């Protein structure tokens, strides 16, 4: 391999997108010569410490800084587009005509402008392949880079970027891409239906987690705590289904079951959820901890009896893909109760956790009551979940399956082929 692989995401590093960080670290550890690009800086004050382990520098297409930096970036972008036009006027004008006829949206124009700037960066870095981490904005930019330069590209699809994207646009991206990665069979099936004759380009590539960081707690020496300790981790947004969890906790409380719950994550729904907790009389039982780092969340898993993933499908179709927090809990040997939504049933076999219908607070409460009454079942489920994640969903295991797609040497350890990939 003589060139680098460009990895393009929307914002990096984002605290809530730990699967992106894990994938970058896994690919670098697997020998992929990676360079990371992001459309924008996330502007978050809390950053995962493991970001410091990323070998590649991060290049921002919209660099943060004073107005002089932004003006310089704009001038550089204009020069990059001028060079593309001079080099290949027919190709450049064909892309402009395509935008005028098919995608007359402000966001499309913005992605086209960003693609010109990125194309210049990629040329200087001797890039052999461009991979976009999401199917919406980053994949649109990657698609335009391909149309402008001919550089091969691929992209990944997860949740919102898949289910809320225009199917016709997604179909064009799949047709032009070398391959497309989907994090679950559910997502892969949706993409293949859209892709039509190009369905064979869609490959299953599950997220992986750091099984060295997320580890089981030491065996408890004393009796089980009187109150069932429930943990939920994720952004405070509608598709996470937190009102369902609160309703289930209220039902348990009303039945006399002692239960406490900690919710880790930040998001726009926090005021409403806090009001709901107060309304349900759970103010002493439920605590909102806000955003936390990997290290802090790992400690929280080890202090929990049960992890809950109460995801729901929203009216517009948005839903979770495979929540990373669910895999982290399983790696920590915490028994899980999760909604049967999208890719969740695929990573929670029957012996590794309990699945309930999405939006069903009564079923969630019944599952929690069952686990509260049966500590040995909790231990069996947690141990089986840890074994399952170690074997199939470890960060490096998943990255080794991806590495050959990006031109890296085959993995030294045997790894199952990607579903849909040539055998």
Distance from C-alpha of 217 to C-alpha of 284, rounded to nearest angstrom: 25
Whether 351 contacts 378, CB under 8 Å:
no
pTM, 2 dp: 0.88
Q: Which residues are registered as beta bridge partners of 308?
A: 337
**pLDDT tens, per residue, the chain with 423 residues:** 468 999 999 999 998 888 899 999 999 999 999 999 999 999 888 888 889 999 999 999 988 877 777 777 888 889 999 999 999 999 999 999 988 887 767 889 999 999 999 999 999 999 999 999 999 999 999 999 999 999 999 999 988 888 888 899 999 999 999 999 999 999 999 999 999 999 999 999 998 999 999 999 987 666 666 789 999 999 999 999 999 999 999 999 999 999 999 999 999 999 999 999 999 999 899 999 999 988 899 999 999 999 999 999 999 988 888 899 999 999 999 999 999 998 999 999 999 999 999 999 999 999 999 999 999 999 999 999 999 999 999 999 999 999 999 987 655 554 444 555 433
Q: CB of 211 within 8 A of CB of 394?
A: yes
Q: Regarding the domain delimited by 4-208+395-406, which CATH topology (the fold level of the hierarchy) does it fall under?
A: Rossmann fold (3.40.50)
CA distance 188 to 168: 16
**b/e map of 402-413 (b: 16 or more CB within 10 Å)?**
bbbbbbbeebee
Q: Kindly report the backbone phi and psi dihedral angles of residue 354, in degrees, each rounded to the nearest multiple of 5, phi listed first.
A: -110, 135
Same topology, domains 4-208+395-406 and 228-392? Answer is yes
- Which CATH superfamily hosts domain 228-392? Glycogen Phosphorylase B; (3.40.50.2000)
Segments making up each domain of the chain, as ranges: 4-208+395-406, 228-392
């Amino acid at each position: 391999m003589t060139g680098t692989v460009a990895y393009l995401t929307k914002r990096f590093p984002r605290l809530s997108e730990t699967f992106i960080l894990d994938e970058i670290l896994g690919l670098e550890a697997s020998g992929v010569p990676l360079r990371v690009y992001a459309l924008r800086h996330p502007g978050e004050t809390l950053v995962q410490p493991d970001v410091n382990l990323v070998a590649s520098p991060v290049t921002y297409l919209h660099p943060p800084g004073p107005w002089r930096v932004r003006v310089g970036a704009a001038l550089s972008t204009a020069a990059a587009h001028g060079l593309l036009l001079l080099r290949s006027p027919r190709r450049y004008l064909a892309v402009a005509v395509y935008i005028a006829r098919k995608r007359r949206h402000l966001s499309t124009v913005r992605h086209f402008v960003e693609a010109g700037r990125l194309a210049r960066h990629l040329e200087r870095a001797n890039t052999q392949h461009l991979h976009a981490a999401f199917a919406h904005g980053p994949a649109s930019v990657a698609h335009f880079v391909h149309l402008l330069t001919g550089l091969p590209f691929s992209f990944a699809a997860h949740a919102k970027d898949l289910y809320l994207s225009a199917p016709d646009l997604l179909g064009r991206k799949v047709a032009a891409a070398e391959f497309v990665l989907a994090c679950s069979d559910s997502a892969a099936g949706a993409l293949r239906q859209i892709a039509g004759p190009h369905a064979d380009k869609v490959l299953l590539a599950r997220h992986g987690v750091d099984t060295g960081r997320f580890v089981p707690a030491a065996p408890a020496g004393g009796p089980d705590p009187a109150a069932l300790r429930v943990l939920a981790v994720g952004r405070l947004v509608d598709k996470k289904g937190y009102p369902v969890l609160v309703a289930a906790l209220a039902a348990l409380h009303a039945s006399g079951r002692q239960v406490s719950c900690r919710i880790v994550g930040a998001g726009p729904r926090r005021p409403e959820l806090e009001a709901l907790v107060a309304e349900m009389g759970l103010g002493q039982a439920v605590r909102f901890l806000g955003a936390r780092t990997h290290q802090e969340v790992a400690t929280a898993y080890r202090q929990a009896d049960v992890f809950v993933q109460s995801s729901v499908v929203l009216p517009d179709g948005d839903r979770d893909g495979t929540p990373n927090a669910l895999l982290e809990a399983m790696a920590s040997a915490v028994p899980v109760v999760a909604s049967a939504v999208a890719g969740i049933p695929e990573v929670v076999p029957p012996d590794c956790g309990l699945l309930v219908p999405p939006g069903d607070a009564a079923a969630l409460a019944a599952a929690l009551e069952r686990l509260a009454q049966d500590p040995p079942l909790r231990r069996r489920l947690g141990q089986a979940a840890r074994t399952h994640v170690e074997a199939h969903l470890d960060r490096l295991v998943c990255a080794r399956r991806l590495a050959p797609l990006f031109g890296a040497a085959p993995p030294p350890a045997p790894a199952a082929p990607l579903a849909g990939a040539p055998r």
